[in-house]
Structure 1
């Protein structure tokens, strides 16, 4: 090897792989495209291997490039970890943390919990992105995110986890709906009625379809909604019922005068977890945030698990 790798080149290579374009990568990293090209060319010459395949639809990493981008993410993660831990000796936790979380966690408690963390650790920056559970786990595994917050029914093998909060799926109903007078319902009781599918492709929606199939009564989906807020508004318009976490839809449902009826099924209590890679790949600031979220959930556990719909 003629020279050592520098973090700027590693960041640029990762950006090109993720964006599939030198132009988009240069815009993301605020550097002119010619400088990106020069660094990538020097990198491939230094390694004596082709890292990127250039085609009419953009740029993709070769087999060697895929291996290199994985190593590059690990190196940058370790460097950030080293910097964050050393900075603790000169004035507290600092750095940046990338968090990917499920829509339910963001709609319910995560922003407020993160606000208490940021009020204590003012030098830490947190980037929060919403995604489905399968994408959350992949982002953490591949190093795109430092922490993930998702349902513990996800495949979390190989990741470290800490318990977070729980939510409780319930039936969201217009007050004039025949089921609105019930104190509690089984999911199977709702299958006779037209429904609103919330976040199609999510683990919750997939699970509901599986339970409907087991009951021999496919869901009568009338309309799809991408957010909990829009699902509540569709229910308020009388276009169907929805199954959504009480914690995520509570404020909107109350504002719209909707009725929330708890589900009696055993699975109607979802445990969320904070997931990350092993400690050697996780920065001090990310570990501190994960510990903070876990402690908050532990302290509020009795209240968050016991309140009715």
Structure 2
């Protein structure tokens, strides 16, 4: 059985990405014959061909595709190992890469992360905002340790841990025909112009499907890239938006908006924390995960007040 060799894995990745051994050898500054020998050694070790060779170049076999996937992950892990140990030498006692959807960034993560870093000054946390599907993709590919997304987003083989409750509401300005309502169904909103918010793309996909099931479609008046921009457009009367109650918070009063809870069952959901394997998290990532879960409000905690 072939013994894992990072140099050979790096060369195999280069060959697959470049499509020829010649270009891979130029990229890696090594003789083509040496690259060919490394690939042949891997094939001999696994007793299976990894590349389909032709006059036009090479393409991976199914076994080669499997090796390529694992090789990329191994090389990422090696890079992380060097980076993490280097940080220890610099006095940092851990490094966590975390991605979160926009709602969690607006609602609660700043406070949670601040308290964690105050308690763990030696741990570095890199936090980036992504839409929920991109959070899942990055965690799946090993580019992030932890991810926060909504429970209705498909997470594939990732492990998911229930996190915080998520309540959706209709947000309108004070002059909107729905402003006097106390509770609404999603179907009640379909007769009115809505704002498309790119940061809630997965929610938009869900609402489009639900509208289609009723033989309707969303009346998207305009698209906006940020929640703050959405508040301004709602205030100006350009349409309504369906957003998490917790994300609106103090902004409703600031912009003079009405927040009306949706009473559809699907409108009360949950954020989840997704990981590839909770048991293989670094100590720093595990500490952050435990910190987030320990600070989840109890079911008896009051729901956010509405204007």
Q: TM-score range, shorter-chain basis?
A: 0.7 to 0.9
Q: Given the superposition, is the C-alpha separation of residues 284 and 192 from structure 1 closer, same or farther in structure 2, using an over 3 Å criterion?
A: same
Distance in 1, matches of 2:262 and 2:287, equals 35
* Alpha-carbon offset, residue 68 of structure 1: 3.6
Distance in 2, matches of 1:103 and 1:151, equals 11
Match of 1:252 in 2: 251
Correspondent of 1:307 among 295, 299, 304: 304
Q: Given the superposition, is the C-alpha separation of residues 45 and 100 from structure 1 closer, same or farther in structure 2, using an over 3 Å criterion?
A: farther
Match of 1:176 in 2: 175
Match of 2:47 in 1: none
Distance in 2, matches of 1:260 and 1:3, equals 57
Distance in 2, matches of 1:2 and 1:274, equals 35
SS at match of 1:290: helix
Higher alpha-carbon deviation: 221-230 or 201-210: 201-210
Whether contact under 8 Å (1:74, 1:281) holds in the other structure is no
Distance in 2, matches of 1:160 and 1:2, equals 30
Distance in 2, matches of 1:198 and 1:44, equals 50
Q: How many residues align?
A: 280
* Alpha-carbon offset, residue 231 of structure 1: 0.9
Q: Given the superposition, is the C-alpha separation of residues 280 and 300 from structure 1 closer, same or farther in structure 2, using an over 3 Å criterion?
A: closer
Distance in 2, matches of 1:160 and 1:258, equals 38
* Alpha-carbon offset, residue 13 of structure 1: 9.8
Whether contact under 8 Å (1:106, 1:130) holds in the other structure is yes
Match of 1:192 in 2: 191
- Structure 2: any 5+ residue segments left out of the alignment? 19-25, 43-49, 52-58
- For the pair shown, the structure with the greater C-alpha radius of gyration is 2
SS at match of 1:181: coil
Distance in 1, matches of 2:78 and 2:272, equals 24
TM superposition score normalised by structure 1: 0.75
Match of 2:145 in 1: 146
Q: Given the superposition, is the C-alpha separation of residues 252 and 66 from structure 1 closer, same or farther in structure 2, using an over 3 Å criterion?
A: farther
Equivalent residues in 2 for 1:263-274, closer than 5 Å: 263-274=262-273
Whether contact under 8 Å (1:165, 1:301) holds in the other structure is no
Match of 2:55 in 1: none
- 1 or 2 for the larger relative contact order (CA 8 Å, sep ≥6)? 1
Whether contact under 8 Å (1:146, 1:282) holds in the other structure is yes
Equivalent residues in 2 for 1:11-22, closer than 5 Å: none
SS at match of 2:103: helix
- Structure 1: any 5+ residue segments left out of the alignment? 22-34, 52-60
Higher alpha-carbon deviation: 249-258 or 95-104: 249-258
Equivalent residues in 2 for 1:88-237, closer than 5 Å: 94-199=93-198, 202-237=201-236
Match of 2:71 in 1: 71
Higher alpha-carbon deviation: 128-137 or 176-185: 128-137
